């Protein structure tokens, strides 16, 4: 419980990859002490949503290299791996991509060693009032006061549901989205026709994790499979592309650069191999087509009409259609924009300073910082890029 009259130095909204990493950096670099920071998140533990969505798609190896994680020292995950006796494969080429198990175990170790769980305040920030150097964060049960706020809310609120799917859900179809925090594999029948909708890495991982047993998996992709080990060229993590990007003044232009730079709807080389194997075993069939409509014929029986004129039946539909393109963050962000006339671009995303400050003492990271940080902003490395900018902007004497 925060003492009534006391104010925090930092309140971080969101205890995911970005929020946890930034808290770790503020502590590690002496800009705050444990009593100065709180991470507000509805989860029962830090990184809960990350653990949930990555296990929902049954991700085995990360897409990012072993130096991308929530620890302060880029080499700490590798050092950690050397200390654990493991039977299974810990890294996948290229770039020593860690297994999810290793990444999460290392995250637990970082959280423990830096006592980050002590900072976790379980709650949901409903709205924020700012003014005269202090922000009040209302969580319904409590109000926290802080001199600085970091919005690290990720994209949990915005899995993308195509219109036909929204209609089918209302009609009672057995349909769910794999990135939904409430997604549950237990409602997927053990046998029958399971349609996984999507053409990217989450769709293929989900299709492979559901295949086998009595199920017949149909992977319904809007495009032929595309392959790339990166979801954005590594040049976007450093000066190679960012120096030119930082000279672009128009955020409309920045948005189009970001769109062109992200390799959405691509899969990594090992998933390509695994998918081919699964197709050979006739456990999974790839359809390149799009859904026009979906009718509920009976309980757990839907009929999808496809753009090609084909029809296909499904006992269960799993959407792996990624997140909405619109600005995430929901009501909390909308009310901040309205109440304080915060700058947003035509795409709806925040226009901030290079220090990611949206207004005095209000910072953004992750998806919300994309226009400033660039195509890698949402990723794990995006947290490091954001921390570098935010910490660099803080007055040195602020160190706790």
Ligand X SMILES: Cc1cc2nc3c(=O)[nH]c(=O)nc-3n(C[C@H](O)[C@H](O)[C@H](O)COP(=O)(O)OP(=O)(O)OC[C@H]3O[C@@H](n4cnc5c(N)ncnc54)[C@H](O)[C@@H]3O)c2cc1C
CA angle 245, 151, 104 (to 5 degrees): 90
**Footprint (CB under 6 A) of ligand X, residues 165-184:** 179
Residue with token string 């302060």: 72
CA–CA dist 247, 249 (Å, integer): 6
State the minimum distance, in angstroms, from the CB of residue 249 to ligand X: 26
- Residues in the chain, total: 400
Q: Is residue 15 within the footprint of ligand X (CB under 6 A)?
A: yes
Q: Cα–Cα distances in Å, from 315 out to 15, 187, 205, 318?
A: 36, 11, 20, 10
The single residue among 26, 27, 31, 64 that binds ligand X, judged by CB under 6 A, is 64
State the minimum distance, in angstroms, from the CB of residue 297 to ligand X: 31
The stretch among 2-10, 148-156, 251-259, 273-281 that binds ligand X (CB under 6 A) is 148-156
The stretch among 81-89, 214-222, 356-364, 379-387 that binds ligand X (CB under 6 A) is 379-387
CA–CA dist 119, 208 (Å, integer): 37
Q: Is residue 19 within the footprint of ligand X (CB under 6 A)?
A: yes
Which of 233/303 has CB closer to ligand X?
Answer: 233
The single residue among 11, 12, 54, 206 that binds ligand X, judged by CB under 6 A, is 54
Which of 66/361 has CB closer to ligand X?
Answer: 66
The single residue among 12, 14, 321, 371 that binds ligand X, judged by CB under 6 A, is 14
**Footprint (CB under 6 A) of ligand X, residues 306-335:** 332
Tokens of 281: 């075993």
Q: Is residue 375 within the footprint of ligand X (CB under 6 A)?
A: no
The single residue among 8, 17, 67, 275 that binds ligand X, judged by CB under 6 A, is 17
Q: Is residue 152 within the footprint of ligand X (CB under 6 A)?
A: yes
State the minimum distance, in angstroms, from the CB of residue 384 to ligand X: 10
Q: What is residue 294's three-state secondary structure?
A: strand
CA–CA dist 367, 189 (Å, integer): 34
Q: Is residue 218 within the footprint of ligand X (CB under 6 A)?
A: no
Which of 43/173 has CB closer to ligand X?
Answer: 43
State the minimum distance, in angstroms, from the CB of residue 250 to ligand X: 25
CA–CA dist 193, 312 (Å, integer): 9
CA–CA dist 393, 236 (Å, integer): 22
CA–CA dist 293, 167 (Å, integer): 9
User: Which residue intervals of 35-173 are DSSP H helices?
Assistant: 48-56, 76-83, 100-113, 163-170
Q: Taking CB under 6 A as the rule, which mask of x and - marks residues 101-140 in contact with ligand X?
A: -----------------------xx---------------
- In angstroms, the first-to-last Cα distance of the chain is 21
Residue with token string 């003044």: 249
User: Where is 168: in which H helix or E strand?
Assistant: helix 163-170
Residues lying near ligand X in the complex (CB under 6 A): 13-19, 40-43, 48-50, 53-54, 57, 59, 62-64, 68, 124-125, 152-154, 156, 179, 202, 332, 366, 378-381
């Amino acid at each position: 419980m925060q003492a009534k009259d006391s104010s925090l130095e930092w309140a971080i909204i969101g205890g995911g990859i970005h929020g946890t990493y930034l808290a770790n950096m503020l502590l590690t670099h002496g800009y705050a002490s444990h009593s100065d920071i709180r991470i507000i998140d509805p989860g029962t533990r830090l990184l809960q949503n990350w653990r949930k969505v990555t296990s929902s798609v049954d991700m085995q190896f990360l897409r990012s290299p072993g130096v991308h994680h929530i620890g302060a020292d880029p080499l700490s995950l590798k050092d950690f791996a050397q200390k654990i006796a493991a039977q299974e494969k810990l890294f996948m080429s290229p770039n020593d991509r860690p297994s999810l198990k290793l990444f999460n175990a290392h995250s637990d170790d970082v959280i423990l060693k830096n006592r980050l769980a002590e900072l976790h305040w379980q709650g949901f920030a409903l709205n924020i009032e700012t003014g005269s150097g202090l922000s009040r964060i209302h969580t319904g049960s409590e109000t926290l006061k802080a001199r600085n706020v970091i919005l690290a809310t990720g994209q949990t609120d915005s899995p993308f549901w195509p219109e036909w799917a929204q209609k089918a859900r209302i009609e009672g179809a057995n349909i769910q989205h794999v990135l939904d925090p409430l997604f549950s594999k237990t409602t997927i029948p053990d046998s029958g026709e399971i349609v996984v909708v999507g053409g990217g890495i989450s769709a293929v991982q989900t299709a492979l994790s559901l295949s086998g047993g009595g199920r017949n998996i149909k992977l319904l992709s809007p495009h032929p499979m595309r392959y790339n080990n990166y979801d954005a060229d590594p040049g976007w993590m450093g000066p190679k592309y960012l120096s030119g990007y930082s000279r672009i003044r128009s955020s409309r232009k920045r948005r189009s650069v970001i769109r062109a730079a992200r390799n959405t709807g691509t899969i990594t080389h090992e998933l390509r191999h695994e998918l081919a194997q699964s197709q050979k075993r006739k456990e999974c069939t790839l359809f390149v087509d799009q859904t026009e409509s979906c009718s509920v014929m009976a309980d757990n029986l839907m009929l999808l009409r496809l753009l090609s004129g084909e029809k296909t039946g499904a006992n269960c539909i799993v959407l792996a259609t990624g997140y909405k393109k619109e600005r995430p963050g929901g009501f909390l962000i909308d009310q901040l924009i309205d109440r304080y006339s915060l700058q947003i671009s035509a795409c709806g995303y925040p226009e901030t300073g290079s220090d990611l400050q949206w207004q005095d003492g209000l910072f953004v990271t992750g998806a919300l910082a994309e226009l400033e940080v660039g195509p890698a902003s949402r990723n794990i490395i995006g947290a490091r890029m954001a921390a570098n900018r935010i910490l660099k902007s803080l007055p040195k004497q602020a160190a706790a």
